Amino acid sequence: MMVFVVLFLMLLFILLKLFVLSLGFLGLFLGLVGLLLFLFLLLFRFSEKRVIFLFKLQSCNLKYDALRRVSKNSMLTFVENLESRMEEAVEDLPPLKVKDLPVFQSKEPEAFYKLVCRFIDECKKSSGIIWNTFEELESSALTKLRQDFSVPIYPIGPFHKYSLAGSNSTSLLTPDKTCISWLDKQEHKRVVYVSFGSIVAISEAEFLEIAWGLVNSNQPFLWAIRPGTIRGSEWLEPLPSGFLENLGERGYIVKWAPQEQVLKHPAVGAFWTHNGWNSTLESVCEGVPMICMPSFGDQKINAKYASDVWKVGVQLEGKLERGEIEKVIRKLMVGDEGNEIRENVMNLKEKANVCLKEGGSSYSFLDSLVSEILSLKSSTSRAH
């Protein structure tokens, strides 16, 4: 049953994401995520022994437990006064501010609150929780989780590093590998790689500010623009006449890039990202500094940690403006502050590599997890 739960959830999430990509509706995606959580709870109900897979930053999940400890009335008041409290610190979750928290819009906040409580309760009843992270990256959050949850915690990530060399990509879109040949011609650590993931959408005005900010920075850039990224446009139609011709070899635009391969490339010096957890973790593991532009959900917390806790990136805040974009890019790529950020992210890259080796933290937790699963299987066999 435990294996069935894990495989079912992974398959369900992939199908939901494919469905959303075909329609391009963020609201539909959030609704489907709610359905996923509901099915998650149904599976819990019929599984006597269970190990839960959770893939996001630990601090996001600590947030849910913090919310659980707040009274219902306090939660509702907090939501009502949200706009006036954006700069306030979140007492249970330093260094987060209110503006860093995901916002869940619901016509039935009480029902959502009950769902959060149920989710936390079921996690605490499980046989263990598996995390796509590593101890050295989030030691303080993992320590807090171990205090609040009596079940075993298994941080065995980063998951993507377990892929065999030469194995097929798990990307939902077909990557354009011609960009690698373009990267081969660029100078070491000079290229800004830009990708906002498989769901995030931006306005035409934001798209144009990004385009001009990249050009004005005078840094070569690789930009993955997924069809449908720009609201109301198929692909690059909003670009002014002659833009691509004048760009020449200074920039390269594709519909989708082989991200892991791009981040490994020696020419890439920065990753402008939406800070989805997979992208954030991949950037850390390859030692690439980030320009953080979160949109919704856990991305805001991921970006906060990348910029303010781990100090491996800079965050773009407020309205997108080409002058500010140019300033942030140059700050990261050629400024003195960029040197510190590069040093920090290289240190984390080394820790990510070590944790997967024999004797490393993730290696040891994976070994413990295997032993636990085998013991569960053995006890189930004896019971029957």
* CATH code assigned at 247: 3.40.50.2000
Residue 300 shares a structural domain with residue 318: yes
Say yes or no: 208 and 301 in one domain. yes
Residue 26 has pLDDT above 70, yes or no: no
288 & 378 share domain: no
- 139 plus 125 within the same structural domain: yes
Q: Are residues 236 and 330 in the same domain?
A: yes
Inter-residue contact 315 to 303 (CB < 8 Å):
yes
Asked if 223 and 319 sit in the same domain, the reply is yes
Domain co-membership, 191 together with 267: yes
- Looking at the chain, list the stretches that DSSP marks H as alpha helix, in order from N- to C-terminal side: 2-23, 26-45, 58-68, 72-80, 109-125, 139-148, 178-184, 204-216, 243-247, 259-264, 277-285, 299-304, 322-333, 336-355, 361-383
Going from the C-alpha of 25 to that of each of 71, 79, 295, the distances in angstroms are: 33, 24, 14
Query: Token pair 């003195």 is at which residue?
Result: 336
Asked if the structure places residue 12 within a domain, the reply is no
Residue 166 counted as domain residue: no
CA–centroid distance for 178 within its chain: 26
Residues 229 and 313 in one domain: yes
362 falls within a domain? yes
- Strand, helix or coil at 89? strand
Convert the pLDDT of each residue in 205-229 to its tens digit. 999 999 999 999 999 999 999 999 9
Domains of the chain: total: 2
Note the pLDDT tens digit of each residue in 298-326: 999 999 999 999 999 999 988 999 999 99
349 and 362 part of one domain? no
- Residue 107 pLDDT: 80
Residue type, 67: L
Domain-embedded: residue 229: yes
- For residues 151 and 182, state if they share a domain: no
Q: pLDDT tens digits, residue range 134-164?
A: 999 999 989 988 998 899 999 999 999 987 6
Residue 120 structural domain:
49-157+358-383
Please name every residue paired with 222 in a beta bridge, in sequence order, or none if there are none. Answer: 193, 252
Q: Average pLDDT, stretch 1-12?
A: 38
